[in-house]
Amino acid sequence: MNLLDLIYVPLGVLSAPLWARKKRNGWGERFGRVEHMLRHKPGHGLRVMLHAVSVGEVNALRALVDRLVEDPKIECVIVSTTTDTGLARAKMLFGECCEVVRYPLDCSWMVRRFLDAVQPSVIGLVELEVWPNFVKLSVRRDIPVCVINGRLSARSFKGYRKIRPLLKRTFARLRVCCVQDEEYAERFRAMGAKDVRVTDSMKWDSVDTQRAAGGATDRAYSIALAMGLDLTKPILVAGSTGPGEEALLHAACPEGAQLVCAPRKPERFDEAAAAMPGCVRRSAEMPAPSGTVRFLLDTIGELSSVYELADVVVVGRSFGDLYGSDPIEPAALGKPVVIGPSHSDFETAVRALLKADAISVADRDGLRKELVRLFRHPAGGKTMGERAQACVRTHQGATGRHHALLVELGGTAG
């Protein structure tokens, strides 16, 4: 037990009433007992561990994982994640080609137990998940730890800066920090990181601008058929919605258009359904009656396909006090995309799309007007989507740079 553990334990006890309110699975795994999650014992080859906190970070790894598992120098890719939804998504995407495990709490004995089981050669932390004990104990074992796809928003930086004396040494222990833009780079350096490189975002690479070039895929059509969506009528898809946004979209959706809402968190499905009277839920597994215009996508892993069906996309968690969701996937599909003013977690992507005139930012009061405009003038929306696809292609390439770095660092492990 070290000084950090002496801080963590009482904090955990004091905060127990808060985190106990939310159902969480896998407590043994959170304590570092992940042996049963591993299918193969470690050999002598290169073992690359990628840590992605939740669903968004897991999705960003798709292109990188594809490259890593095909690399003959790599014996195994391990994807770790923290949340239950992130774990489910990681198993869905990577369960057949990677080891998928749950990331441990940051108490030293839990981290040691985890590292003993996983035995990584190199660790890539996706975006920013820098825990002091995990980084320190990994480095002590001569395991290089780097940040890939790094970002540190202004909001997060404000909080991190307050505890900089406690985290400066942790950031200094990171071998390399690959970040999405120069603004993030300055913040990483301010926190004590030594080797900081601007490599753009892997999220641009996690999408395929040609995926639905010939129209929606068979999977998208099968979901539409199962839900009862009328493909002859306009469809508005709202992805990763947050509290209060389903009601906003219900009111703002133009007459004659069908609305499909996909809440970001499963625990909000019932709340979202109540905000859209008469909606049909995907989980009901039966087609909607004729004339239904409100649908709830209350499943995990299907939003990507449903985006293909959209005439217009609204990106959620951006019209309230949250910080936005990822607009890159619908942009890559060539859809006209609308996002709210609260999108600081995706500021880099939104800024790039705005510069290309490939996304629309609307506030709550102006949302309906903007949606009406896009549905009335589909040619303008089509042009916006084409510009969005071109913007995505311009920013792709970070995955290859991260792949090369992980292999290089893994080869230097002690």
pLDDT at 360: 98
CATH code given to domain 26-205+397-411: 3.40.50.11720
pLDDT at 213: 84
Domain ranges of the chain: 26-205+397-411, 218-395
Pair 402, 178: CB distance under 8 Å: yes
9-52 pLDDT, tens per residue?
A: 555 555 545 555 555 677 789 889 999 999 887 877 899 999 99
Radius of gyration from C-alpha coordinates of the chain:
22
Quick one: which of 59, 52, 55, 94 has its CA closest to 77?
94
In this structure, which topology does domain 218-395 adopt according to CATH? Rossmann fold (3.40.50)
Domain 26-205+397-411 and domain 218-395 have a common topology: yes
309-328: burial string, b at 16+ Cβ within 10 Å, e else? bbbbbbbbbbbbebbbbbbb
* Residues contacting residue 324 through CB under 8 Å, at least 6 positions apart: 315, 317, 318, 339, 340, 342, 343, 344, 345, 346, 350
pLDDT at 129: 86
Q: Is the pLDDT of residue 3 over 70?
A: no
Average pLDDT over the chain reads 92
15/310: higher pLDDT? 310
Side chain identity at residue 50, one-letter code: L
pLDDT at 45: 87
Give CA–CA dist 22/222, Å, rounded. 34
| Mean pLDDT for the stretch of residues 187-206 | 94
Helices (H), 191-263: 218-227, 245-252
Q: Is 302 exposed, middle or buried (0-12, 13-18, 19+ CB in 10 A)?
A: middle
Active site residues: 57
